[in-house]
């Protein structure tokens, strides 16, 4: 499934004038006039996905409000949807967060499903690698539930003696559960064998940028990480990449950095589903983004 959600910088006025939430409400469903819908469920789902994708691009395009309104109407008709409208989510720092809602039976919204421990469970005999773990609390939360023993390799970029509250305890617990713990692991260049892991996880990657608000270094981090993941992941394996909120998805464009992967789904990251997890910011970097519950997103990529 694909989900589309973005921040539209100057959407405030635009949404008001467009009548957010009311758009298309009074329009008679075209299919009612045309008669029976002969599409099967898969075809309907595909049409809905395509319509949401086109709508997302449209909203990103910076087109004026009248054009957006008319083009959304065209998209709704083209894909024979019951409904296609913009939903106002919340006010954010630089404007308004919106998403497109489409309905063709079944309904589909963005965003969407919640990330759960089971999303990280490798199939029998297969392994999971976590990189950039900092205090090892996220991997411990998985290890506590999934009983993976030596099929979990949890790693940090930091050295063994880097201090984090609870880190030593977390490592002790990990060892009791049989997890393999490694330090100084650079996610962009590891020494693991090719085709080694079924699942690779990078939660809230972050490195310092040269300029405030810059994206170059983090885009490069993601690109190099995906290249390395492609080398060490099993064919068809998955990368789960979590980012603090949708702004990072728009700015770092993970899909563009993930050459050998295809985005399979996007889920909401809620730390309540990972008991014991305590988010850590990049060491000594005050500009590092923090993770706020309810805003985090996890992109699930499948190796091609």
Q: Is 139 in the site for ligand SAM (CB under 6 A)?
A: no
Using the rule CB under 6 A, which residue among 79, 138, 197, 252 binds ligand SAM? 138
Nearer to ligand SAM, 158 or 246 (CB): 158
**How many chain residues touch ligand SAM (CB under 6 A)?**
21
CB–CB of 244/296 below 8 Å? yes
Contacts of ligand SAM in 215-244 (CB under 6 A): 221
Using the rule CB under 6 A, which residue among 58, 63, 263, 281 binds ligand SAM? 281
Shortest gap between Cβ of 214 and ligand SAM (angstroms)?
15
What is residue 187's DSSP assignment?
T
Q: Compute how many other C-beta atoms are within 10 angstroms of the C-beta atom of residue 294.
A: 10
Q: Is 186 in the site for ligand SAM (CB under 6 A)?
A: yes
Using the rule CB under 6 A, which residue among 81, 134, 233, 297 binds ligand SAM? 134
CA distances from 279 to 155, 188, 195, 234, 276 (A): 15, 21, 29, 28, 10
Q: Largest alpha-carbon pair distance within the chain?
A: 70
CB–CB of 304/260 below 8 Å? yes
Q: Is 181 in the site for ligand SAM (CB under 6 A)?
A: no
Using the rule CB under 6 A, which residue among 105, 126, 188, 217 binds ligand SAM? 188
Q: Catalogue the E-assigned strands of 34-163.
A: 83-92, 95-103, 107-108, 128-131, 152-155
Using the rule CB under 6 A, which residue among 133, 228, 245, 246 binds ligand SAM? 133
Q: Is 203 in the site for ligand SAM (CB under 6 A)?
A: yes
263: CB partners within 8 A, 6+ apart: 2, 254, 255, 299, 300, 301
Using the rule CB under 6 A, which residue among 23, 120, 206, 261 binds ligand SAM? 206
Shortest gap between Cβ of 289 and ligand SAM (angstroms)?
7
Nearer to ligand SAM, 164 or 260 (CB): 164
Using the rule CB under 6 A, which residue among 8, 97, 266, 280 binds ligand SAM? 280
Shortest gap between Cβ of 299 and ligand SAM (angstroms)?
15
CB–CB of 115/268 below 8 Å? yes
Q: Catalogue the E-assigned strands of 151-279.
A: 152-155, 180-182, 197-203, 233-243, 261-269
Using the rule CB under 6 A, which residue among 4, 136, 157, 269 binds ligand SAM? 157
Binding segment for ligand SAM among 39-47, 105-113, 140-148, 197-205 (CB under 6 A)? 197-205
Using the rule CB under 6 A, which residue among 279, 296, 298, 301 binds ligand SAM? 279
Q: Is 131 in the site for ligand SAM (CB under 6 A)?
A: yes
Task: Round to whole Å and give the CA distance between 197 and 148.
Answer: 13
CB–CB of 98/11 below 8 Å? yes
Q: Is 254 in the site for ligand SAM (CB under 6 A)?
A: no
Task: Round to whole Å and give the CA distance between 150 and 127.
Answer: 8
What is residue 122's DSSP assignment?
P
Q: Compute how many other C-beta atoms are within 10 angstroms of the C-beta atom of residue 208.
A: 13
Shortest gap between Cβ of 280 and ligand SAM (angstroms)?
4
Residues that bind ligand SAM (CB under 6 A): 131-134, 138, 157-158, 186-188, 203-207, 221, 279-282, 288
């Amino acid at each position: 499934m694909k989900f589309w959600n973005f921040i539209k910088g100057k959407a405030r006025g635009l949404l008001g004038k467009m009548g957010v939430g009311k758009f298309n409400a009074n329009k008679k469903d075209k299919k009612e006039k045309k008669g029976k819908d002969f599409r099967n469920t898969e075809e309907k789902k595909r049409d809905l996905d395509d319509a949401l994708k086109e709508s997302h691009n449209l909203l990103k395009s910076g087109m004026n409000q009248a054009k957006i309104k008319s083009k959304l109407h065209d998209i709704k008709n083209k894909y024979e949807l019951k409904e296609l409208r913009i939903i106002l989510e919340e006010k954010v720092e630089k404007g308004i967060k919106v998403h497109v809602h489409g309905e063709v039976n079944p309904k589909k919204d963005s965003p969407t499903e919640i990330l759960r421990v089971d999303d990280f469970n490798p199939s029998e005999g297969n392994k999971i690698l976590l990189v950039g773990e900092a205090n090892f609390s996220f991997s411990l939360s998985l290890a506590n539930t999934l009983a993976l023993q030596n099929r979990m390799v949890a790693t940090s970029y930091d050295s063994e003696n880097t201090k984090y509250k609870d880190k030593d305890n977390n490592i002790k617990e990990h060892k009791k559960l049989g997890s393999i713990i490694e330090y100084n692991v650079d996610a962009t260049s590891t020494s693991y064998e090719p085709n080694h892991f079924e699942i690779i996880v990078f939660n809230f990657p972050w490195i310092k940028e040269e300029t405030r608000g810059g994206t170059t270094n983090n885009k490069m981090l993601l690109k190099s990480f995906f290249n390395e993941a492609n080398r060490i992941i099993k064919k068809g394996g998955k990368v789960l990449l979590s980012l603090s909120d949708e702004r990072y998805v728009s700015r770092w464009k993970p899909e563009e950095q993930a050459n050998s992967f295809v985005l399979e789904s996007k889920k909401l990251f809620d730390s309540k589903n990972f008991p014991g997890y305590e988010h850590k910011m990049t060491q000594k970097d005050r500009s590092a983004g923090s993770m706020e519950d309810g805003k985090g997103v996890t992109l699930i990529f499948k190796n091609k």
